[in-house]
């Protein structure tokens, strides 16, 4: 099913990361191995990742309910079973990333985990009347472990109060890499940064997140939207990669450039809103 911004209502709270009109959030994209046991199973627009372990698998971002069949197909194409997903994590409490948590739990029995500061927004997310399941409430820096694989939940607020970037270790050709799946450091066009009654600390949270983002360990740069880390270009490079060549998803410099771009956008919007407020 094709989902565009103009067609969705009610389940996206408060706003979409990619707010440009007409984006097809469910446009298929080839599933692929990023590095080690980290696989991409999302769409061209939505970053969804499968972390495989001997004890079952971890899914990061359920996306829309309409996206789930594509995620299921992608998992199958990679040779894994969707039913083996034991833990469901998410990046942040927007419908394009976590609307389908209840559906995925229904299909797999997975334990749903979420950052404490996003729980209220998630509880309000009830597609077709489904209650939003949360089996474990997380806090900044806590870890999630399954089958010998550990992920760290980094709270990087601003985009939402509990925006969560996920970090883990991966090994390729005998070398260990730090993988970071970025929540979102971006500011949507309709965000109120000055005098926000619902989120009065939003500007301070963004400030803290940009400072924190530069300290996080990042070799492999991924994100909740493929556009953050250049999915299409890096996937094309991955297809042409020869033995001994570097993995195109290893991109620390690209990560820092992304942080700088998002911070500049935030500061420009903040200054404009401060002037308008006066």
How far does CA 40 lie from the centroid of its chain?
Answer: 11
Is pLDDT of 273 > 70? Answer: yes
Q: Which of the four pLDDT bands, split at 50, 70 and 90, describes residue 9?
A: very low
Average pLDDT of 49-55? Answer: 98
What's 85's DSSP letter?
Answer: E
CATH architecture for the domain at 5-277: 4-Layer Sandwich (3.60)
Is pLDDT of 1 > 60? Answer: no
Average pLDDT of 153-162? Answer: 98
Q: What is the pLDDT of residues 94-126, one digit of tens each?
A: 999 999 999 999 999 999 999 999 999 999 999
Q: Parse the chain into domains and list their residue ranges.
A: 5-277
Q: How far apart are CA 36 and CA 50, in angstroms?
A: 11
Q: How far apart are CA 55 and CA 149, in angstroms?
A: 10
Q: How far apart are CA 7 and CA 68, in angstroms?
A: 18
Average pLDDT of 141-165? Answer: 98
What's 158's DSSP letter?
Answer: S
- Start-to-end Cα distance in the chain: 46
Specify the pTM: 0.93
Structure tokens at 229: 């880390």
Q: Which of the four pLDDT bands, split at 50, 70 and 90, describes residue 278?
A: confident
Structure tokens at 124: 């309000």
Q: How far is CA 107 from each of CA 72, 86, 104, rounded to the nearest angstrom?
A: 10, 11, 5
State the pLDDT at residue 12.
Answer: 37
| Residue 73 parent element (H or E) | helix 68-77
């Amino acid at each position: 099913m094709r989902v565009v911004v103009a067609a969705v209502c009610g389940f996206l709270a408060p706003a979409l990361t990619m707010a440009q009109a007409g984006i097809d959030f469910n446009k298929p994209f080839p599933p692929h191995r990023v590095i080690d046991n980290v696989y991409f199973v999302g769409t061209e627009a939505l970053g969804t990742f499968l972390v495989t372990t001997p004890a079952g698998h971890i899914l990061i971002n359920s996306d829309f309910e309409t996206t789930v069949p594509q995620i299921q197909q992608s998992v199958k194409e990679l040779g894994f079973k969707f039913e083996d997903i034991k833990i469901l994590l998410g990046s942040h409490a927007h419908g394009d990333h976590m609307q389908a948590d209840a559906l995925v739990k229904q299909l797999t029995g997975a334990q749903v985990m979420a950052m404490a500061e996003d729980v209220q927004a998630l509880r309000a997310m009830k597609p077709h009347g489904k209650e939003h399941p949360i089996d474990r409430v997380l806090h900044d820096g806590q870890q999630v472990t399954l089958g010998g694989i550990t992920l760290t939940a980094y709270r990087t607020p601003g985009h939402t109060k509990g925006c969560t970037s996920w970090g883990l270790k991966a090994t390729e050709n005998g070398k260990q890499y730090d993988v970071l799946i970025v929540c979102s450091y971006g500011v949507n066009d309709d965000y109120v940064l000055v005098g926000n009654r619902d989120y009065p600390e939003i500007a301070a949270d963004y400030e803290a997140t940009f400072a924190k983002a530069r300290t996080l360990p990042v070799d492999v740069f991924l994100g909740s939207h493929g556009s953050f880390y250049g999915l299409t270009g890096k996937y094309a490079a991955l297809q042409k990669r020869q033995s001994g060549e570097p993995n195109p998803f290893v991109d620390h410099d690209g990560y820092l450039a992304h942080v700088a771009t998002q911070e500049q956008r935030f500061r420009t919007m903040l200054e404009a809103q401060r002037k308008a407020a006066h």
